[in-house]
Structure 1
Amino acid sequence: MILNEATAARFARTALGHVGQEYPNKLDHVMAGPDAVASPRNLHPAFYGSFDWHSCVHSWWTLLTIRRLFPDLPEAATIETRAEETLSQANLDAELAYAQILEARGFERPYGWAWLLYLHLEASRHGDQAWAERLSPLAHHFATGWRDYLGILRHPIRHGAHANTAFALNLSLQWARVFDQELAALIKQAAQRYFIEDRAAQCWEPGGDEFLSPTLTEAALMKQVLPADTFAQWFGHFLPQLEQGEPRALFIPAQVSDPTDGKAAHLDGVNFTRSWCWRMLGLDERNAHRHIKASEDAIDGDYMGSHWLASFALLAMLAGQEETE
């Protein structure tokens, strides 16, 4: 599978089919009282679709990215129309107001924060539209949240699901390099504080409901924050047997036993994020391809996978390109 017009159209059709689908829906919502009971659309008028808030956000990243890279696709015009409706000033004002309430301090932290920043970064590449300007207050709100969070997070969260520290720092760093140099410096410092002493990764992965590779996600982040020679030394200590095919788990694509089970379906994400990391690290293109191929049919398969997997497939396909623009 390569990123061409046919693939881009497939991803676009899949994402357009669910960014406005309100139900089923899994909310990240703390109710402080009876007045806080509301529907997903009322709580999140911009990002109520795609089963959960963060999936809706990164599906919009997918759509805007496709619109930029393939502007002549028929789907590109639909993306523009739908984005103008969804990423309206009123809708994004409401999203910001929700994020600012006391009970939402931990809302989508850090995974959803990182994807919102990444969406804002992509929106900034669409100079003919006001989407980035409208998203900016929410992005900067989450950037402020990062400052507070890094101050209290004594130890990184290493498992391969939404709370993973390395993955969120990686996406957020790419935003911060453009919009917030102070935060970029804090992220680099935090990454080194959390991971610089890591040696001989045990690589007990994948976990049964993980969608990230904790091992490779950490390495991909460290490549972003360390000078090349320092990273090479660190990486040699972190995965000292990689050239001998160890840890073996990193070379074996995960298999999903039941694509209708949302947690089991996470394992397709492991394959895409491994491919993304292999390419970010400049290693073993054949292994990156093998991991993508193992899960490509799930991109528009059962809704438990199709509401989010296109974003991770697109990350893998663009690995190493977007960061150098």
Structure 2
Amino acid sequence: MTLTLPPAQAARELVDPVLREAVDRLDPHTARVARYHFGWTDASGRPHVAGGKALRPALVVLSGRAAQADVERCLPAAAAVELVHAFSLLHDDVMDDDPVRRHRPSAWTVFGRSEAILGGNALLVLAGELLLEQGTPGSVAAARAVNHATLSLLAGQALDLEFQDRDDVTREECLRMSRHKTASLLACACSIGVTAVAGPAPLAGALAAFGAEAGLAFQLADDLLGIWGSTEVTGKPVLSDLRARKKSLPMVAALTGGTEAGHHLAELLARPGQLTEADLRDAARLVEEAGGRAWAEQEAGRRLDAAARCLSDADMPADVRDEFLRIARFITSRDH
């Protein structure tokens, strides 16, 4: 199959029917939560225009093209990765008490915490089912890859929760958490298309390495948005990460840099009760003065350069390599 649409749009049109068919297998109550979370319906079950960038399905489809395979063979893997991503967001919103997801109320605020947790569990089961029912050597290997990425993601979420109760988190620990929580699934998305079609192992390895580095760059850019991004871009309140006192990468870099601004930032964050809007603006200023913003921007650039090096010797069509690099630059520009 030849793709003539932009990768994300093409991936969405190809994978969306697979996702919808999978969700249709669920019981009506759980399916209602899933359809709302994917943006297919509103809280009453009426059709709604879906949001999201379809980033991970696009990477899976591109991975299949890197192996010069028919992309239709990669669609179950693309849907499985998106199901895991959706599962993680459902649970993440519950654990972080995030009331907004993609510019509208999070699923748990609409249906309840228990219902959102059950919905996430169901999506995770569907991901494995979609892969294993194919019954091919490639699909079994792809299922293992998804399981490995999911376990890594869970390890990252556990670290994230642990960090909430600590004031001594190091920059290295925060990078390790991001590598697990964000980069592992992106690495899986970049390589699983090759795995699903039983493509060359060296190619899958190069794409996984690319995805891991691009995933860290993506998280760094996302953390910058969590402090300085607008609601129109993030879909969440301004200064949302500071309001939650989240141990994001710019925050930890600022707190551990040994600067006077970092010391003042630590004192501000240690205050009991909710921070005022003035406190939040002061905190953002202190993160920047302590070098947290500059470090995160520079580190994102370094990770993006490392991602490009991972593809330099990979055996794939030149246009596919260029598209991987274009997507990596797009997701880390983070002005969208």
What is the TM-score of this pair, normalised by structure 1? 0.33
What is the TM-score of this pair, normalised by structure 2? 0.32
